[in-house]
Amino acid sequence: MRTKAYPTYKDSGIDRIGKVPAHWAIRKATWLFAIGSGTTPSSENPAYYNGDIHWITTSELRESVVGATAKMITKKAQIDYSSLRLHPKGSIAVAMYGATIGRLGILGVPATVNQACCVFSAPCGVVMQFWFYWLQMRRTFLVSLGYGGGQPNLSQELLRSIRAPIPTELEQQAIAAFLDRETAKIDALVEKKERLIELLKEKRTALITHAVTRGLDSNVRMKDSGIEWLGQIPAHWNPGRIGIFSQQVTDGAHISPDTASPDHPFVSTVDIVGGRIDFENCLGTTSETYAYMERTGCRPRRGDVLFSKDGTVGRTTVVDSDAEFVVASSLVIISPRKEVVMPRHLDYWLNGTFIQELVELFLSGAALRRISVAKVRNFPLVLPPVDEQRTISAFLDRETAQIDALIDKIEEATELLKEYRTALIAAAVTGKIDVRNTPS
């Protein structure tokens, strides 16, 4: 794809935009749109819901067209809440705060919105698809201007004050059409790569599952495992449960980290990344707490296996150092009996399909998914002799390393495509490239 610059430029006077094509006009958002928001009808009044009017929340803004909404409100809700204006199809909604701050959606149907959405509608001299791309490009900067303590907030005043370089409508249409074409190509490539990553991860899991439930010898004599859903296992393997083959299965500290006195790392579920502990970014706790956990036997040692039981359930890692750290109650500490269980083999077993399916079956909790220590203690565990465990683990180390390296390369290429997509949008909507005569 060959692009060129415009013949002449001028200073835009807009922070972080720099120069724009000389013939582009600088306009304020309030000159270009009707800008408004909405509200949330009382959930205690059933007469306000299950009507025929679409009502959008920020969770439905995903840089795409918003069609059917999760909730519908009634005409009575509109009458009782004057701020529930019906915005026309084609309007653009922006999330002003919360986890989705800055996310965008194009109304695929006439709809009302809640109070966390700001809506741009009734454009004057602006092509809405051009404005959609402009807001995508400007999102990070706008969020950086947001106010608030822990979570930044975009206000309507801030969004109303947006100043943007606006080309002619014909030029906006050309830019929007160009970006529609090019981003669609990039998105298709990204989708293919992400699907390939999924397939590789499935292959990795299948490889682990076969090795830890069937072994590496395809000619070995088999027997019934006696474990529902598992089926047959090599005849010389020993079935049991994790608790039987472990010295201890317990959760971590039922305390909060102490960031004021971080004498020792305090590791939680979020610090188990890619099968390893991210000590650099975890929180800390005091020496007193560490000493207490030492006395109660609730701190991990080399050779223990950690299993996340809250939130992102099922993450695992083997403690492979003598580092002095404490783990949160969101992690289960499994101390295998070393004479019968290799920690690495146990780690692979916990990452097989069989245990993953058990985890899904035993999960409880709505807001926070979790599994109990007792359930983990009672997980089935099928063990080959230690020498065979060592052989299986070495085989899986080699094979999974190759798959992981390939996944890393594809993920890196995917990130580069996403970065290129972002840069292309920025270049087009700020006039750094002239796409008016780009072939379709």
Q: Is residue 305 part of a domain?
A: yes
Picking from 106, 133, 166, the residue at the C-terminal end of a domain is: 166
Q: Is residue 299 part of a domain?
A: yes
Which of 84, 114, 115, 96 minimizes the C-alpha distance to 159? 96
Same domain, 31 and 129: yes
Q: Is residue 178 part of a domain?
A: no
DSSP state of 126: -
Percent of residues in the chain assigned helix, strand, coil, to nearest 5 = 40, 25, 40
pLDDT class of 114 with cuts at 50, 70, 90: very high
CB 10 within 8 A of CB 161: no
Same domain, 145 and 267: no
Picking from 166, 195, 226, the residue at the C-terminal end of a domain is: 166
Token reading at 234: 């090599």
Q: Any idea what the CATH number is for the domain that residue 260 is in?
A: 3.90.220.20
Picking from 336, 368, 383, the residue at the C-terminal end of a domain is: 383
Q: One-letter amino acid identity for 78?
A: Q
Run of H or E residues at 188: helix 169-214
CB neighbour class for 362 (10 Å; exposed up to 12, middle 13-18, buried from 19): middle
Structural domains counted in the chain:
2
Q: Is residue 135 part of a domain?
A: yes
15-24 burial, b if ≥16 CB within 10 A, otherwise e? eebeebbeeb
Same domain, 255 and 377: yes
**Structural domain containing residue 119:** 25-166
Strand partners, 370: 310, 364
Q: How far apart are CA 133 and CA 19, in angstroms?
A: 18
* pLDDT tens sequence across 212-230: 999 999 999 999 998 888 8
Scan for tokens 């002239």, then name that residue.
Answer: 434
Token reading at 123: 């454009």
Token reading at 151: 């979570």
Q: Is residue 184 part of a domain?
A: no
Spatial neighbors of 151 by CB under 8 A, at least 6 apart, are: 97, 98, 101
Neighbours of 174 (CB within 10 A): 21
Same domain, 157 and 258: no
Q: Is residue 378 part of a domain?
A: yes
Predicted confidence (pLDDT) at residue 243 exceeds the cutoff of 70: yes
Label the pairing between strands 316-318 and 305-308.
antiparallel
Same domain, 244 and 377: yes
Same domain, 244 and 359: yes
pLDDT class of 148 with cuts at 50, 70, 90: low
Q: Is residue 276 part of a domain?
A: yes
Q: What is the pTM of this model?
A: 0.86
* pLDDT tens sequence across 369-386: 889 999 999 999 999 999
